[in-house]
C-alpha cells in the first residue's frame, strides 16, 4: 500500500515521498525499511534519528527537511498509528461474531452485549462475561469467574473458578489461570494437599502470553496489577502479587507469596524464591536466581542475584580464574624461594 493511500485514510499532512510502498507497521525502535511507525513520547526522540522506518507519524514536524524518510503530521500520532494497524492487520477477531451453537453456556452465567463465544467454549454457573469480550474456540471459563469488557481470550485457554479479570485483558492460547497452588503439608512421610481455596485477580490492560501458569491463592488472591505484561511459559505461584506496568519475560518462575513491585522488569528465565519482595522499578537480568529481597530502582543479575555492576565484574573475573590459579601457584613457589633465601642468608 502506498503512503499517500495511508495518509488519505488516516488524515494528516504528508512530508516526503508519498509514492513509497508501506509493507507493515512497527515500534520506532524495531521498525525496518518499508515500515511505518509513530513518535509520541519525547523520551524516544533519539530513535527518530536512527529508526529504520520509511515513514513516521508524529504530532509536530521539525524534520521536513529530512530526506531519509517521510513524515505524516497528525495531532494524535498513536490514534493514527492504531488506524494504520487496522489497515494492515487481519481483523477476523474484531467483529463480534455472536455465540456459536456448539458453545456450552450455563443458564446461570451472565453475558454482556456484543460478545463473541467461539465453538466448544464452556462457561460455567455464575460466570460473567463483559461487553465486547471475545472467547475464542475451546476456552473454558469456570464457576463464578468474571471477565470485564473488551477482553480477548485466545483458543484453548483455561480460566478456573473464582478468577476475576478486568477490562481489555488479553490471554493467549494454552494459558491456565487459577490452577491449584502447589501446597502440601507433610504428615509422616506423606504429602497431604492443602486446599487452595483462594482466587486470582487480574487487573485492567494485562496481557498474558501462551502456556503460562498462574496459580490461585491458598487463601486470598494471587494478583497481577494493571498494565503488567507477561510473556510465554511463565510460572506464577500461589499468592504472588505483581504490581502495575511490570514486564515478565518468557520462562520466568516466581515462587509463592513473593511480591513484585510496579514497573519491574524480570528478564527471561529468571527464578525468584518465595516470600520476598522485588522493589519498584528494579530490573533483574536474564537467568538470574533471586534469593533475597531486592530494593527499588536497582539493576540486579547473576546467581545469587546482586548488583549488576558487581555481577559483571565477577563474571569477567571468572573467565580469568584458570590464569589466576596459575598465578597463585607461581607466587607460592616464589614466596617459598624467597623464604629459603632469607633463611640461608640469616643462617650464614
Q: Answer for the pair 153, 159: CB distance below 8 angstroms, yes or no.
A: yes
How many other C-beta atoms are found inside a 10 Å radius of the C-beta of residue 257?
19
138-167 residues in contact with a second copy (CB under 8 A) are: 138, 140, 142-144, 154-156, 158, 160-162
Task: List the Cα angle 82/83/88 in 5-degree steps.
Answer: 95
Residue whose CB is less far from a second copy, 21 or 67: 21
Rounded-to-10 torsion of CA 153, 157, 158, 159: -20
Min dist. Cβ of residue 232 to a second copy (A): 4
Establish if 33 lies at the interface with a second copy (CB under 8 A).
no
Establish if 89 lies at the interface with a second copy (CB under 8 A).
yes
Burial 115-137 (b: 16+ CB within 10 A, else e): bbbbebbbbbebbbbbebbbbbb
The reply to whether 238 belongs to the active site is yes
Q: Which stretch binds a second copy (CB under 8 A): 3-11, 64-72, 108-116, 302-310?
A: 302-310
Residue whose CB is less far from a second copy, 64 or 336: 336
Q: Of 60, 292, 295, 342, which one interacts with a second copy (CB under 8 A)?
A: 342
Backbone dihedral region of 194: left (phi > 0), alpha (psi from -120 to 50 degrees) or beta? beta
Q: Answer for the pair 38, 58: CB distance below 8 angstroms, yes or no.
A: yes
309-338 residues in contact with a second copy (CB under 8 A) are: 310, 313-315, 317-322, 324-325, 327-328, 331-332, 334-335, 338
Residue 215: which H helix or E strand, with range?
Answer: strand 213-215
170-209 residues in contact with a second copy (CB under 8 A) are: 170, 172-176, 179-180, 182-195, 197-198, 207, 209
Min dist. Cβ of residue 131 to a second copy (A): 20
Determine which one of 15, 120, 172, 238 is catalytic: 238
How many residues comprise the chain?
Answer: 348
Establish if 308 lies at the interface with a second copy (CB under 8 A).
no
From residue 120 to residue 139, what is the string marking binding to a second copy with x (rule CB under 8 A)? x-x-xx----------xxx-
Rounded CA gap, 121 and 104, in Å? 6
Rounded CA gap, 109 and 147, in Å? 12
Number of residues that bind a second copy (CB under 8 A): 126
Establish if 52 lies at the interface with a second copy (CB under 8 A).
no
Joined grid coordinates for residue 18: 508519498
Establish if 232 lies at the interface with a second copy (CB under 8 A).
yes
> Whose CA is closest to 174, among 101, 232, 120, 260?
232
Establish if 110 lies at the interface with a second copy (CB under 8 A).
no
Give 87's Cβ-side CA count (13 Å radius).
20
Establish if 245 lies at the interface with a second copy (CB under 8 A).
yes
Q: Of 26, 99, 111, 298, which one interacts with a second copy (CB under 8 A)?
A: 26
Rounded CA gap, 161 and 318, in Å? 49
Catalytically active residues, by annotation: 238
Amino acid at each position: 500500500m502506498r503512503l499517500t493511500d495511508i495518509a488519505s485514510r488516516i488524515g494528516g499532512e504528508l512530508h516526503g515521498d508519498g509514492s513509497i510502498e508501506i509493507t507493515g507497521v512497527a515500534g520506532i525502535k524495531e521498525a525496518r525499511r518499508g515500515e511505518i511507525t509513530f513518535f509520541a513520547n519525547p523520551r524516544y526522540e533519539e530513535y527518530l534519528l536512527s529508526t529504520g522506518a520509511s515513514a513516521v507519524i508524529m504530532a509536530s514536524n521539525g524534520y521536513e527537511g529530512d530526506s531519509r524518510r517521510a513524515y505524516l503530521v497528525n495531532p494524535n500520532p498513536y490514534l493514527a498509528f492504531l488506524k494504520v494497524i487496522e489497515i494492515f492487520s487481519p481483523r477476523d477477531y474484531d467483529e463480534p461474531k455472536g455465540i456459536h451453537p456448539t458453545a456450552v453456556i450455563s443458564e446461570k452465567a451472565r453475558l454482556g452485549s456484543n460478545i463473541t463465544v467461539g465453538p466448544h467454549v464452556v462457561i460455567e454457573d455464575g460466570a460473567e462475561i463483559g461487553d465486547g469480550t471475545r472467547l475464542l474456540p475451546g476456552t473454558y471459563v469456570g464457576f463464578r469467574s468474571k471477565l470485564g469488557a473488551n477482553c480477548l481470550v485466545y483458543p484453548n485457554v483455561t480460566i478456573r473458578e473464582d478468577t476475576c479479570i478486568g477490562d481489555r485483558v488479553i490471554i493467549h492460547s494454552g494459558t491456565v489461570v487459577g490452577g491449584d497452588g502447589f501446597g502440601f503439608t507433610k504428615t509422616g512421610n506423606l504429602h497431604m494437599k492443602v486446599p487452595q481455596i483462594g482466587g486470582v485477580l487480574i487487573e485492567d490492560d494485562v496481557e498474558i502470553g501462551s502456556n503460562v501458569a498462574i496459580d490461585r491463592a491458598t487463601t486470598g488472591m494471587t494478583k497481577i496489577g494493571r498494565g503488567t505484561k507477561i510473556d510465554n511459559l511463565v510460572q506464577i505461584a500461589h499468592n504472588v502479587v505483581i504490581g502495575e506496568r511490570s514486564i515478565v519475560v518468557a520462562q520466568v518462575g516466581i515462587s509463592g507469596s513473593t511480591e513484585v513491585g510496579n514497573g519491574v522488569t524480570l528478564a527471561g528465565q529468571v527464578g525468584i524464591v518465595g516470600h520476598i519482595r522485588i522493589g519498584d522499578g528494579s530490573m533483574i537480568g536474564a537467568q538470574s536466581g533471586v534469593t533475597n529481597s531486592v530494593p527499588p530502582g536497582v539493576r540486579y543479575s547473576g546467581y545469587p542475584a546482586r548488583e549488576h555492576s558487581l555481577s559483571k565484574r565477577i563474571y569477567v573475573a571468572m573467565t580469568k580464574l584458570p590464569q589466576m590459579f596459575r598465578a597463585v601457584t607461581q607466587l607460592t613457589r616464589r614466596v617459598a624461594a624467597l623464604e629459603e633465601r632469607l633463611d640461608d642468608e640469616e643462617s650464614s
